[in-house]
Structures are given as structure tokens and as C-alpha cells.
């Protein structure tokens, strides 16, 4: 049960490349957490979203419509996304005021598909500052298909590290839609996430010397500074890995739901025992 509180709940921003599964995760996590009596509030920050299946406390489409911005300012979809983000950021304080005092355990924010737009524009930094309220983290989603090749996997590690660096928030990486990978592929990708030297060998085979050395050296450096290394499989479809998201949030912000001292780890343990 959520505690009545005048402060806003901690915030998880769901970030990842286009189609990585951000909106599905937001929906699945809210639904899944309900059964644990963890009150997950959501926000849709993507003005281009066609459909929103979660139940947002705030939907950016109520403020700006991407198609209207395109028409009114004669812009293409990317230009319109940028302008829409600026228009929304200009009202960030009003939005935060509207959300103030909401009682909930955690707020999950679905972000636009253009990860570079979210990570690099000042508008997003402003939104994070205002909505995050010094209690925020990032759930970063790896695309499963891109993760199947060593270079695709490394590119996503680098991108995630850049997002972490740019936003300055604790970041945890998840391998999205893991149900789409066969067992061998999943095992291989998880091993790359755990052992840099195995990834290095795979990358040498695929990309050759100079590119590999460049990428691996970058990764080594970045990983030295990573707060939460590793990669966790996630499937919104099968509700897999959702407990890991809750554990991550609990580790940062304290226990949530009925069991305020780490319900998620109990669930995972129970599940492992059953399997």
C-alpha cells in the first residue's frame, strides 16, 4: 500500500533506442507491480506515441501533439520531436506541480524513441531535474536483435554509458524482449556482458583489429566507472526481469509495497525455487 506523502515518489526513466520496448515495459511493470501492492505511477513523455496502454498520471500528448507541431511549424517528425520537447520542458514546473503530493511507491517515465533526443537535448536535462527531484535512475533497454552481433552489442554498451554519463543518473542495463532470443543466443549475449575478454574475441572475429581495440579500450574505461555493471534479461511479454527492476529501485530508494524491505528478491528466489 502506498504511503500518503507530500513529496513525490522516486523516478525511473525508461530509455532505449527506437522500438526497444520502453512503452511495453512501462505497461507491464505497472500491471505486474499491482499484485505486489507496489503502487507504480507512470508518465508518458513521448509526444509521438500512437497508443498508451498504461494509465499515466501525466501524458505529454495532452500538452502537445506531434502531428499538430508538424503542421503548425512545417516540420518533419524529428524537428517536431525537438520542438515538442522544448515546449514541454518550458512547462516542466507546472507539470511537477500537478504531480506534487501524488502518493505512490515509484514513478516510471516512458521516454521518446529517439534516445539521442532524450539524452542530448537541454530540454530533457531540465525535465530530469524538475521531475526527478534528486531521486531518479535510468532503466536502459538493449535491443535484442542488435545485441546478437558483437559490434551491435558493443555499440549499445557505449550508448548506454554515454546516456549514463550525459544524464548523470544511476543506470541499469536490461536485455529487452529476451523471449525473442533462443537459449544459445541469450547465453552468449549474457557472457559478453559479464566477460569483456570473451566479447573482445568475438569482436576481433567480426570487426578486426583497429575497430576492436578502439571499442574495447573505450568499454574498459567506461566500465571502470559504471555504478551498476552487467546486463539483466527482461521480457515484458513473460514478465521476466521485472523483479530485478524493483530490486534496483529498492536498492536505491528503499523498500516498496507491502514488504518495505525487499519484496522483489523474495519473489525472484521463490520463482527460482519453483523452476
State which residue has the least CB distance to Mg ion. 23
Applying CB under 6 A, the site for ligand GTP has a residue count of 16
SS3 87: helix
Contact 11, 135 (CB under 8 A): yes
- 41, 72, 78: which is closest to 59 by C-alpha? 41
Question: Is 42 an interacting residue with respect to ligand GTP (CB under 6 A)?
Answer: no
132 phi/psi in degrees, rounded to 5: -70, -30
Question: Is 23 an interacting residue with respect to Mg ion (CB under 5 A)?
Answer: yes
Query: What is the footprint of ligand GTP within residues 215-274 (CB under 6 A)?
Result: 235-237
CA torsion, ordered 256, 258, 260, 265, to nearest 10 deg? -80
Question: Is 161 an interacting residue with respect to ligand GTP (CB under 6 A)?
Answer: no
Residue closer to ligand GTP (CB basis): 1 or 18: 18
Q: Which stretch binds Mg ion (CB under 5 A): 17-25, 173-181, 192-200, 240-248?
A: 17-25
| Angle at alpha carbon of residue 44, lines to 39 and 50, rounded to 5° | 125
Query: What is the footprint of ligand GTP within residues 178-197 (CB under 6 A)?
Result: 179-180
Question: Is 21 an interacting residue with respect to ligand GTP (CB under 6 A)?
Answer: yes
Contact 44, 52 (CB under 8 A): yes
Residue closer to ligand GTP (CB basis): 85 or 203: 85
Contact 258, 44 (CB under 8 A): no
Question: Is 177 an interacting residue with respect to ligand GTP (CB under 6 A)?
Answer: yes
Residue closer to ligand GTP (CB basis): 162 or 180: 180
CA 70 to chain centre: 27
Q: What is the DSSP letter of 21?
A: S
What residues line the site for ligand GTP (CB under 6 A)? Answer: 16, 18-24, 46, 113, 177, 179-180, 235-237
What residues line the site for Mg ion (CB under 5 A)? Answer: 22-23
Amino acid at each position: 500500500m502506498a504511503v500518503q506523502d507530500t513529496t513525490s515518489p522516486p523516478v525511473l526513466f525508461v530509455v532505449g533506442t527506437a522500438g526497444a520496448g520502453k512503452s511495453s515495459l512501462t505497461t507491464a511493470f505497472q500491471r505486474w507491480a499491482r499484485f505486489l501492492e507496489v503502487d507504480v505511477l507512470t508518465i508518458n513523455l513521448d509526444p509521438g506515441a500512437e497508443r498508451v496502454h498504461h494509465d499515466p498520471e501525466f501524458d505529454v500528448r495532452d500538452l502537445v501533439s506531434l502531428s499538430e507541431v508538424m503542421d503548425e511549424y512545417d516540420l518533419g517528425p524529428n524537428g517536431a520531436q525537438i520542438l515538442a520537447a522544448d515546449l514541454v520542458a518550458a512547462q516542466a514546473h507546472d507539470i511537477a506541480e500537478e504531480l506534487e503530493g501524488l502518493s505512490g511507491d515509484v514513478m516510471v517515465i516512458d521516454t521518446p524513441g529517439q534516445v539521442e533526443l532524450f539524452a542530448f537535448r537541454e530540454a530533457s536535462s531540465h525535465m530530469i531535474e524538475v521531475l526527478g527531484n534528486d531521486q531518479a535512475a535510468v532503466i536502459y533497454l538493449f535491443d535484442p536483435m542488435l545485441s546478437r552481433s558483437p559490434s551491435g552489442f558493443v555499440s549499445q554498451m557505449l550508448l548506454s554509458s554515454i546516456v549514463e554519463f550525459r544524464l548523470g543518473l544511476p543506470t541499469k542495463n536490461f536485455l529487452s524482449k529476451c523471449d525473442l532470443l533462443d537459449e544459445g543466443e541469450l547465453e552468449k549475449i549474457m557472457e559478453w556482458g559479464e566477460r569483456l575478454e570473451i566479447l573482445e574475441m568475438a569482436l576481433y572475429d567480426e570487426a578486426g583489429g583497429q575497430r576492436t581495440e578502439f571499442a574495447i579500450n573505450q568499454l574498459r574505461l567506461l566500465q571502470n566507472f559504471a555504478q551498476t555493471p552487467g546486463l539483466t534479461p527482461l521480457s515484458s511479454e513473460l514478465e521476466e526481469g521485472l523483479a530485478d527492476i524493483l530490486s534496483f529501485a529498492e536498492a536505491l530508494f528503499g523498500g516498496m509495497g507491502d514488504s518495505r524491505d525487499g519484496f522483489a528478491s523474495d519473489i525472484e528466489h521463490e520463482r527460482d525455487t519453483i523452476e
